[in-house]
Structure 1
Amino acid sequence: MVVIKGALLFLVVCAAARAASAGDGPLPNGHFEDTPDRSQMDGSVVTGENAIPQWKTTGHVEYIESGQKEGDMILTVPEGSHAVRLGEDGSIHQQLYVTPGAQYSVTFSAARTCAQYEKLTVSVVPGDASDEISIQTVYTSSGWDSYCWAFLATDGVMTLTIHNPVHEDDPACGPMIDSVAIKTLYPPQATGDNLLRNGDFEQGPYIAPGSPFGVLVPQRDETHISPISGWMIMSYTKVVKYVDSPHYAVPQGSYAVELVAGGEAALVQEVDTVPGSACRLEFSVGDAGNGCVAGEEQPMRVQASTAGGSKTVVHRSDGNGGGTTRALLEFTASESRTKVVLSGSSYHTKSDSSGTRCGPVVDDASLVCVPPAPARRLLR
């Protein structure tokens, strides 16, 4: 009996440890610092599919050490000393223990190593959640950008895959991956005080506590789960950046969104409205305090638009995060669904000559609509 109890306790402990992989934070060996079994390696090339602890690999995958030389290029790693590179048909896979019906966001860092067009496919199975993410544009001077992707859990155990779908002349050519993490999303609901869901942007992807670069959020439409709950990101290949208050100037709360792609990416949300309602859209515009200077000649501009009107907000920035412009757009709802769009209008780069893209920060958005008198009586 003691042996049975001990065995049961062991199973419970193991199950709890496995389930912990779905907690907010890095996945087990998400930084790839647990080194592979060298007997399943050929130089830096992974030859055994289970060589890297906690991960399964397929295709051409390399285990990279920071400072490793690749031709004329020195490969660097953003956190720790190791990363992986996905070459021809290269993929990494890890099982996730999740709650069916819950939403999750996956964050990972990626860096290009080749001059050609590079992209990644991120997916989970079972289910058909899968998307391609372009990593062609580099948004930081380090060459490493953090990206995020979100999904709805349809099963208690799902397999996450990050795959390089691009075929190059050199089979080793492909992006490096590091710092893979997960976060549970708790999408807020609209209220009478604010028809916008997650107008304060407090529900978003995981940002590592020590990461100073924020997280890039690629295109997400209404058919996908968004890493920024409630908000679609409309674009072809560009992104918005999710930023936190420890590293950026945030107008309110702990998180905001930096519009780093000019007019090529927009935040979009559709809400239920009563036709004829008098609506009041408000939001804050500031600078991220990251050296993004925008003066008289080229100030930051944020365009807010709905079917009932538009508003251009001008914000002049010294790059130090000082000052916030509060914007107001009043309009009359004409449909039962109203689309709110927030976008930048021009490109900006940091003043340190690094070429790092930056832009205005938007936060604390609210939409309040008062139905016309007959509708108010019907609503009672």
Structure 2
Amino acid sequence: MELPWGMLLPLLLVLSVSSPSSSSAAATLAVTAPPPLPVPPPRHAQDAEGMLINGNFETAPRRLNKTLIVGRHSLPGWTVQGHVEYVSGGPQPGGMFFAVPHGVHALRLGSRASASQNVTVRPGALYALTFAATRTCAQDEALRVAVAPSLSAPADVAVRTLYSGASADTWAWGFRASSPVAQVTFANPGVQEDPACGPLLDAVAIKELPAPYPTKDNLIKNDGFEIGPQVLRNSTVGVLLPPKQKDATSPLPGWIIESLKAVRFIDAAHFSVPAGQYAVELVAGRESAIAQVIRTVPNRAYNLSFAVGDARNGCHGSMLVEAFAGNVTQKVPFDSAGKGGFKTAAFRFVAGGVRTRLTFYSSYYHTKVTDGVSLCGPVLDQVKVVPVKA
């Protein structure tokens, strides 16, 4: 039987003292320390999906009064304030239904309630928070997203049912860190007659976004939308990117969400994407525009090309994408059967200055044939600008 080191060491010392040392031929017992135990790797706040600690709220609070969380620090990983409920998805008393997109449980933030968590970040770096949200009472509810300290101001994201029908919408919100530790807070800024009324919060993840740069072959930054927020593996609804009025720090590096409503960031695992792993769906007609400002040489000609298609998500009909560059407008039609596919388009423009704005939006409004309610639209991908050779 092998003895543990703690029991073996005293025995070896006794043997060493009692052994004769006068004879040179006597055996000498060498005592060496055991190898050091391996040091466990540091524990990170996020898992492989970028989820915050208990970001999907599957670890229950230590104290509950029915569904109400009791104690500010009762929910592992989070600090809660106000009327915060720990709810399960599915039918609820009173005929309501809670859509929980990731797992079984979510938080319900009542009037003026909040949930926050400290995360480790890199000062100066750009990050995107991904989270799922859905309304529970009023037609128009909001979720206030704030990171402190940071270089990005808090914003209220409208929680409606315009984009994903009966499912919970998944959003991204960008911020730029200003210190090694940042407090991420989600709050309900509204006041309802029922203090329990408020949006559901679930599946909170974070992702650091590298800065994209133009290349000698393309003046567009992040031309294929491959740099973007975390897309959760179990999510089939894409990620909504709020307009710049709600988030001046775009969660899609290089691009400006220049519209009144969101655009959708989609992945090839759940949608039809012209190239690569990601693309953008223009889901709200002329109210869903995306833009980028590039460096140009005044009076020089450039060629702009891009791909237009459908996401294979039940969005069908005659689509039309309008593209603007310099003083040129190009309309690109696409007839969608809702089964995927795309086409490419290109046109030439002349730069009027050292900066040129490119803008894309959908001319028409579309809804999914499956429910007639959820907004959808054409897909944009593979945007490229190159100088025209003289």
User: What SS does the aligned partner of 1:355 have?
Assistant: coil
Report if aligned partners of 1:63, 1:84 keep a CA contact under 8 Å in 2. Answer: yes
- The answer as to 2:239 corresponding to 1:220 is no
Aligned counterpart in structure 1 of residue 196 of structure 2, from 172, 192, 205: 172
User: What SS does the aligned partner of 1:263 have?
Assistant: helix
User: Once the two structures are superposed, what CA deviation does each residue of 1:321-364 show, in whole Å capped at 9, x if it has no partner?
Assistant: 03x11111211101111000011111111222352221100000
User: What SS does the aligned partner of 2:46 have?
Assistant: helix
Aligned counterpart in structure 2 of residue 345 of structure 1, from 363, 366, 378: 363
Q: Residues 246-257 of structure 1: matches in 2 within 5 Å?
A: 246-257=269-280
Q: Measure, in 1, the Cα distance between the counterparts of 2:267 and 2:205.
A: 16
Report if aligned partners of 1:31, 1:178 keep a CA contact under 8 Å in 2. Answer: yes
Q: Cα offset for 1:257?
A: 0.3
User: What SS does the aligned partner of 2:72 have?
Assistant: coil
Q: Cα offset for 1:269?
A: 0.5
The equivalent residue for 1:5 is none
- The answer as to 2:340 corresponding to 1:316 is no
Q: Measure, in 2, the Cα distance between the counterparts of 1:369 and 1:96.
A: 43
User: What SS does the aligned partner of 2:169 have?
Assistant: strand
Greater shift, 184-193 or 123-132, is seen at 123-132
Q: Measure, in 1, the Cα distance between the counterparts of 2:68 and 2:315.
A: 41
Q: Residues 257-336 of structure 1: matches in 2 within 5 Å?
A: 257-294=280-317, 299-322=318-341, 324-336=342-354
Q: Measure, in 1, the Cα distance between the counterparts of 2:309 and 2:379.
A: 5
Greater shift, 256-265 or 69-78, is seen at 69-78
Q: Cα offset for 1:22?
A: 8.1
TM-score by length of structure 1 reads 0.88
Size of the aligned set, in residue pairs, is 355
**Aligned residue type for 2:367:** T
User: What SS does the aligned partner of 1:319 have?
Assistant: coil
Moved segments of 4+, more than 3 Å: none
Identity percentage of aligned residues? 42
Q: Measure, in 1, the Cα distance between the counterparts of 2:147 and 2:297.
A: 38
The equivalent residue for 2:51 is 26
- The answer as to 2:61 corresponding to 1:36 is yes
- Residues 33 and 22 (structure 1), Cα distance of their counterparts in 2 relative to 1, 3 Å cut: closer
The equivalent residue for 1:118 is 141
The equivalent residue for 1:161 is 185
Greater shift, 352-361 or 144-153, is seen at 352-361
Q: Measure, in 2, the Cα distance between the counterparts of 1:302 and 1:165.
A: 36
- The answer as to 2:376 corresponding to 1:358 is yes
- Residues 94 and 215 (structure 1), Cα distance of their counterparts in 2 relative to 1, 3 Å cut: same
TM-score by length of structure 2 reads 0.86
The equivalent residue for 2:4 is none
Q: Cα offset for 1:302?
A: 0.5
User: What SS does the aligned partner of 1:121 have?
Assistant: strand
- The answer as to 2:385 corresponding to 1:367 is yes
Aligned counterpart in structure 2 of residue 48 of structure 1, from 44, 56, 71: 71
Aligned counterpart in structure 2 of residue 78 of structure 1, from 94, 101, 119: 101
- Residues 221 and 194 (structure 1), Cα distance of their counterparts in 2 relative to 1, 3 Å cut: farther
Report if aligned partners of 1:59, 1:91 keep a CA contact under 8 Å in 2. Answer: yes
**Aligned residue type for 1:136:** R
Q: Measure, in 2, the Cα distance between the counterparts of 1:73 and 1:22.
A: 32
Q: Measure, in 2, the Cα distance between the counterparts of 1:218 and 1:122.
A: 12
Q: Measure, in 2, the Cα distance between the counterparts of 1:13 and 1:92.
A: 30
User: Once the two structures are superposed, what CA deviation does each residue of 1:265-287 show, in whole Å capped at 9, x if it has no partner?
Assistant: 21111011110110111100000
Report if aligned partners of 2:284, 2:365 keep a CA contact under 8 Å in 1. Answer: yes
Greater shift, 61-70 or 164-173, is seen at 61-70
Q: Cα offset for 1:57?
A: 0.5
Q: Structure 1, unaligned stretches of length 5 or more?
A: 1-8, 374-380
Q: Cα offset for 1:244?
A: 0.3
User: Once the two structures are superposed, what CA deviation does each residue of 1:148-197 show, in whole Å capped at 9, x if it has no partner?
Assistant: 00111111111100111111111111100111111111121012211110
User: Once the two structures are superposed, what CA deviation does each residue of 1:27-76 show, in whole Å capped at 9, x if it has no partner?
Assistant: 111110000012xx222112211111101001221110123524221323
Q: Measure, in 2, the Cα distance between the counterparts of 1:156 and 1:25.
A: 17
Report if aligned partners of 1:222, 1:232 keep a CA contact under 8 Å in 2. Answer: no
User: Which structure has the greater CA radius of gyration?
Assistant: 2
Q: Structure 2, unaligned stretches of length 5 or more?
A: 1-36
Q: Measure, in 2, the Cα distance between the counterparts of 1:82 and 1:310.
A: 48
The equivalent residue for 1:63 is 86
Q: Measure, in 1, the Cα distance between the counterparts of 2:49 and 2:103.
A: 19
Q: Measure, in 2, the Cα distance between the counterparts of 1:111 and 1:35.
A: 20
Aligned counterpart in structure 1 of residue 120 of structure 2, from 97, 101, 104: 97
